[in-house]
Structure 1
Amino acid sequence: MAEIEIDGGPADPARLAALGLLNYGHFTTLRAESGRARGLALHLDRLVRDCRTVFGAELDPAEVRARIRRVLPADGAPVIVRVTVFDPALGLERPAAPATPHLLVTTRPAPAAAPGPLRVRTTAYRRELPEVKHVGLFGLLHQRRLAQLDGYDDALLLDGAGRLAEGATWNLALHDGRALVWPDTDAALPGVTAALLARAHPGPQRREALAPDGLDRFVAAVAVNAGAGVRPIAAIDGTSFDPAHPAVAELRAAYEGVPGDEI
C-alpha cells in the first residue's frame, strides 16, 4: 500500500497543491527492503547538498531518516521511497525569499521482477542544473514521450557537444569487453546507483567522451538507477547490444552485492 506524508503527518491538500503549482524543489529516490537501503548515506548527502543549492538552507539528515522509517512497511516488503524537499510558503513572485524546507515522503511497491531491456534513441537535450536532482521533470518526460512515439522505450540525452550524457531518469554505462566505461560529461546527474556500481565493480573502468556513432565497439550497455538497479540496454539508435551478455550479469551481481544501510 502506498504511503504519503509531509513532515511525518498526513499530506494535506493545501501543501500538496503548493508543490504542484510552483513545482520548485528537489528529491531523491531509493529502494528500501527490510529496513535497509543501498547507498543511504549518498542519498542523504545529495539531499543536504541540493537543499543548499536550491533553497540556500540546511537539511537535517537524521530527520530525513526518521521520516523514511515512518513510511516503511511493517513487514519489510520492498518499496520505492521518494523524498521531496520543498517549501509550500514560497510563491512564483519571490522564490528568493528565505526558505523553510519541508519533507514530502512517498512510497510505492517496488517492481516484483526486473524490467526488460531498453531500446533508446539519442536526442539533443540538456537538463536544467543537471548536477541537482530537481523536480523539473517536464523536459525529461517530454523527451521520453517523443522517443516512445517514435517506437523506442526512452531517450538518451546528448550534451551541448553532442556527446552521450544521461538517460531521462538514469545514468548510462557501457562495457567494451575489458573495462566499464562511463560518459565523461558535465551534463549528467551524479547518480547514487552509478556511484555504488563504480565502487563495487571489480574490473577496470574509465570515463570517456562518447559520441553516438562508433558504439559498436562496446559489447554491452546498461541503464542504472535506484528503482531498476542495473537494466540492460538492447539498442542505442541503430546500434544493438546483447542484453544477455555476461558483462551485464556481472554488473548486476556487483551492484546487488552492495549491502544495504540500516535506515
Structure 2
Amino acid sequence: MAEIEIDGAPADPARLAALGLLNYGHFTTLRAEAGRVRGLALHLDRLVRDCRALFGAELDRAAVRERIGAVLPADGAPVIVRVTVYDPALGLERPAAPAAPALLVTTRPAAAAEPAPLRVRTAAYRRELPEVKHVGLFGLVHHRRQAQLAGYDDVLLVGEDGLVVEGATWNVGFLAGERLVWPQGPSLPGVTEALLSGAYRGPQSREPLPADGLDRFTAAFAVNAGVGVRPLAAVDGTAFDPAHPALAVLRAAYLGIPAEAVGG
C-alpha cells in the first residue's frame, strides 16, 4: 500500500513542490476500517464544495472514492486517510489560471486505544475562510505549539468577540447535564460534529459561548474523524468531568452510526 500517492501514482518531488511552496489547496481526513467510513458522503460533499470554492472546478466524487479504496489495507486494519486537493501546476504569479486539481492521498495507522482527555488553553485566532478545510495550517500549528510549550495539550480558538469557535483541528461541544451545546460562530462545519448532532437523542442547541462563561458546563469534548469523541479535562482554569456519563452516551451514539462502504 502506498503511503502517499498523487492521482494513483507514487508521489514525486516535482508534483509535490507546488503544495510545499505555494500551500494552496484543501483536504479532508477520515478514518477507515474494514473498507468502511462513517460519514463518507459528507467527506465527499466537503471536497466537492471546497474544490468549487478554491479552484472553481468540479471534483469527480467517484474518482475520490476509487483513490481512497485503492490505499486501504487488504486486512481491513483501521487507518487515517487524508485526501488533499491541489493543483501541481498552480503558480504564485497566476493563481487565477484555469485549475486542474489533483488528488494527493496519504495514509497512516489509526490509533487503537482511546486517547487521554485534553487540557487546552484558549487563544484569540480565526482561520482564513473558516468554512473551508484548507491547507493553511500555520496559525493553528503555531498556537498549538505555544499551548504545548505552556504545558497544555492543545488550543481552543476564540474570536475577537470572546466567543468560543473551534479547536485547532477539531470541533468542540459542551454538556450541561444531558444538554448538548455547540458553539455558534464562524467555524469549520465538521463531519463528525454533524454525524453526532444527528445521532444524539438528548436535548441540544447551538449558542454563542463566551470563553469566560464555560464554568456553567459539567463536561466538554473534542470531535473529529480521527478520534471520534474525546473528553476535555480543562479549558484554561476551568475543569470538566472527563468521565461524565453523558460522554459515554455520546460515544455510543457516534459508534452506532453505520459506516458506508468505500466501494459503494
Interval of TM-score (by shorter of Structure 1 and Structure 2):
over 0.9
1:8 Cα deviation after fit: 0.8
Could you tell me whether the CA contact under 8 Å between 1:2 and 1:108 is conserved in 2? no
- The runs of at least 4 aligned residues of structure 1 exceeding 3 Å deviation read none
Number of aligned pairs? 262
Percent of aligned pairs sharing the same letter: 76
Q: In structure 1, how many angstroms separate the alpha carbons of the residues matched to 2:67 and 2:231?
A: 33
Q: In structure 2, how many angstroms separate the alpha carbons of the residues matched to 1:76 and 1:96?
A: 41
Q: In structure 2, how many angstroms separate the alpha carbons of the residues matched to 1:2 and 1:66?
A: 14
Report what 1:74 is aligned to.
Answer: 74
Moved more, 252-261 or 76-85: 252-261
1:217 Cα deviation after fit: 1.4
Query: Which letter maps to 1:95?
Result: P
Matched, 1:209 2:237: no
1:178 Cα deviation after fit: 3.2
Report what 1:46 is aligned to.
Answer: 46
Q: In structure 2, how many angstroms separate the alpha carbons of the residues matched to 1:142 and 1:116?
A: 22
Matched, 1:102 2:126: no
Q: In structure 1, how many angstroms separate the alpha carbons of the residues matched to 2:17 and 2:115?
A: 32
Could you tell me whether the CA contact under 8 Å between 1:28 and 1:43 is conserved in 2? yes
TM-score (norm 1): 0.98
Specify every segment of 5 or more residues in structure 2 that has no aligned partner in the other structure, as ranges.
Answer: none
Q: In structure 2, how many angstroms separate the alpha carbons of the residues matched to 1:114 and 1:259?
A: 20
Could you tell me whether the CA contact under 8 Å between 1:15 and 1:88 is conserved in 2? yes
Could you tell me whether the CA contact under 8 Å between 2:178 and 2:246 is conserved in 1? no
| 1:158-196 Cα shifts (integer Å, max 9, x gaps) | 11311000000000000100310000112x100000000
Could you tell me whether the CA contact under 8 Å between 2:2 and 2:10 is conserved in 1? no
Query: Which letter maps to 1:18?
Result: A
Q: In structure 1, how many angstroms separate the alpha carbons of the residues matched to 2:144 and 2:219?
A: 22
1:2 Cα deviation after fit: 6.2
Q: In structure 2, how many angstroms separate the alpha carbons of the residues matched to 1:112 and 1:180?
A: 27
Q: In structure 2, how many angstroms separate the alpha carbons of the residues matched to 1:31 and 1:106?
A: 12
Report what 2:24 is aligned to.
Answer: 24
CA RMSD, Structure 1 to Structure 2 (Å) = 0.9
- Specify the SS of the correspondent of 1:214: helix
Report what 1:222 is aligned to.
Answer: 221
Specify every segment of 5 or more residues in structure 1 that has no aligned partner in the other structure, as ranges.
Answer: none
